[in-house]
Structure 1
Amino acid sequence: MLRGLVAIASAAAVLSAAAALPDAREPPIEKVLRASVPATWGRPDEIEVTLYQPPGPGPFPVAVLSHGSPRNPDDRRRGGRVRLQAQSRAFVAMGFAVLVPTRRGYGDSGGDWAEGYGSCRGPDYYNAGLETVRDITASLAAVRGNPALDAKRVVLVGQSAGGWGSIAASSQPIEGLVAVVNFAGGRGSQAPGSVCVEENLVDAVARYGKTSRVPQLWIYSENDLYFGPALVRRMHGAFTAAGGRAQLMQMPPFGRDGHLYFGNVANWAEPVEKFLRTTTHGQ
């Protein structure tokens, strides 16, 4: 109970920073950082991290936005550095500095793709998620000396594989982590309505739930063609039954594929900010 109250108090401090912005109308400062992801052997892999820093001295709480993973492996390197501009600006408007890591094997970042889950017959979603965590923690380590950023007040936000990695990160002892916002998180989608061994996905998220201690908001659209409503309910049920704390928002259909709901910034900005505020009151 005490640990839960500490998390709630920390979340309150995160949102209070929004009022410290000198002028929310000023554009954020965009920088490109290099973060080092320790390798299991040999030299560390370097990844690119986009930083959006609000104007003013700070220190600003930090939101780490984690991108998804395309079904087609050839698409991982396309598009270069991931920026997530519209989504990042929404969090800057809430008072956050934003980090967007381009993970190993994506865009122009170094290293080989590390998030594989093995065979579709026996996917290891649990350890695949923990590989994503390594890139998230590396991006946070890269800014811990920045006086304008308060890396002891951290919110993780992710879409698809990035959402799954953010849930996975909540199960680890990450300094300063106070909340997670998961958009359409999951792994293993091969085609619309087809996920490799759904039971393995449900079991993995339950394992994360056993050691997750921060409040979470899960946002999925009803016409998500990667992870449909029935599977999402099973995942959420398994996570919360294991001890995780997550509020599920099942949103109306969005476009042709609700898996892209993260791009619908105008519709999710208000409920996300409300979630981050209501957690400060333990609701």
Structure 2
Amino acid sequence: MRAPEAARALALAAFLLAGVAFAAPALAPDETVIRATVPAGPGLFTSDKRIDVTMFKPKGEGPFPIVVISHGSPRSAADRRRGGRIRFEQQSRAFMAMGYAVVVPTRRGYGDSEGDWAEGYGTCSAPDYYAAGLESARDILAATDAARALPGLDGKRIVLVGQSAGAFGSVAAATKPVPGLVAVVNFAGGRGSQGPHDVCGEGYLVDTMARYGKGSQVPQLWLYSENDLFFGPSLARRMHAAFVGAGGKAQLVETPAWGTDGHMYFRNVSDWTPRVKAFLDSLPSAPR
């Protein structure tokens, strides 16, 4: 296998093994699918787009606080549609066990959701990560708004959780005045990875985290593995320092190596569950 093909295979594996399946199986008893509307905006989209949103809800009447889990983005454009409806079932069940209802949007340009991919950052020489993250945030917030209106869910207690590009978009979304948002959990958030240890314009990525930190609204937990081949420990520390230096509130945890690429650490549910639970339980809004 040639080097570019190997890099593509690694990227797709990271996307899939983090919790995405090629074709979603039949709905589980506690699983439903709703549609959220992403309003028309500048640029590519002049009409509203509907996206698929998977929801897992604990037994009982609730109201349950809400976790919104946002997926990453494979490097290859062809692979973005191959995931089908994104579910993160194993990870969702971990949050359900903590007392949360879980909402998993499949953003525009992925799976069967409407619209073309809108999260591009331009050229590698001068990437616009700030705008790209805010574009992801539009879909995340659309799903959040849809969930907030559902019976049995508590729209006053919302946590944004994301992996890779989805985490980056969640950090971006937290710069907006989101009603009920109480925290963000960032699993290996970032953009611009072209291959192992190869990120377009690392300085631009760090500077964007500083901009997001300046506008951040809530406390955050950041988890980056020591063998992450997308955004390694040194870059994670630089992004975190920029974020908190600009006024953001975030705890950085360097998690153990996971498999051949710690960028897939979100799959290591048994390791991160107690870390995340401790963080969420420290919040005044935690389930009691």
**What is the TM-score with the length of structure 2 in the denominator?**
0.86
Aligned length: 255
How far apart are the structure 1 equivalents of 2:283 and 2:198? 34
How far apart are the structure 2 equivalents of 1:85 and 1:137? 21
How far apart are the structure 1 equivalents of 2:46 and 2:138? 16
| Counterpart residue number, 1:19 | none
Give yes or no for contact 2:176–2:217 (8 Å, CA) kept in 1. no
How far apart are the structure 1 equivalents of 2:269 and 2:198? 27
- In the TM superposition, residue 279 of structure 1 has moved relative to its aligned partner by 3.7
AA in 2 matched with 1:192? P
1:38 aligns with 2:42: no
In structure 2, relative to structure 1, the CA distance for the partners of 1:87 and 1:28 (3 Å cut) is farther
How far apart are the structure 2 equivalents of 1:103 and 1:143? 15
Q: Which segments of 5 or more consecutive residues in structure 2 lack a partner in the other structure?
A: 1-27
How far apart are the structure 2 equivalents of 1:28 and 1:154? 23
| Counterpart residue number, 1:80 | 84
In structure 2, relative to structure 1, the CA distance for the partners of 1:98 and 1:121 (3 Å cut) is same
1:184 aligns with 2:188: yes
Q: CA RMSD in A?
A: 1.3
1:162 aligns with 2:173: no
Give yes or no for contact 1:28–1:54 (8 Å, CA) kept in 2. no
Q: What's the secondary structure of 2:194's corresponding residue?
A: strand
Give yes or no for contact 1:210–1:242 (8 Å, CA) kept in 2. yes
Give yes or no for contact 1:48–1:103 (8 Å, CA) kept in 2. yes
In structure 2, relative to structure 1, the CA distance for the partners of 1:122 and 1:90 (3 Å cut) is same
Q: Which segments of 5 or more consecutive residues in structure 1 lack a partner in the other structure?
A: 1-26
Question: Which of the residues 195, 198, 205 maps onto 1:194?
Answer: 198
1:271 aligns with 2:275: yes
Q: What's the secondary structure of 1:113's corresponding residue?
A: coil
Question: Which of the residues 245, 251, 256 maps onto 1:252?
Answer: 256
How far apart are the structure 1 equivalents of 2:149 and 2:243? 34
Give yes or no for contact 2:66–2:102 (8 Å, CA) kept in 1. yes
| Counterpart residue number, 2:144 | 140
Give yes or no for contact 1:81–1:102 (8 Å, CA) kept in 2. yes
- In the TM superposition, residue 278 of structure 1 has moved relative to its aligned partner by 2.4
- In the TM superposition, residue 169 of structure 1 has moved relative to its aligned partner by 1.0
Equivalent residues in 2 for 1:1-283 (5 A)? Answer: 29-40=30-41, 42-280=46-284
AA in 2 matched with 1:79? G
How far apart are the structure 2 equivalents of 1:99 and 1:182? 16
- In the TM superposition, residue 28 of structure 1 has moved relative to its aligned partner by 6.3
Give yes or no for contact 1:28–1:52 (8 Å, CA) kept in 2. no
Give yes or no for contact 1:28–1:92 (8 Å, CA) kept in 2. no
The ranges of structure 1 where at least 4 consecutive aligned residues each deviate by more than 4 angstroms after the TM superposition are none
**What is the TM-score with the length of structure 1 in the denominator?**
0.88
Give yes or no for contact 1:184–1:220 (8 Å, CA) kept in 2. yes
| Sequence identity percentage | 63
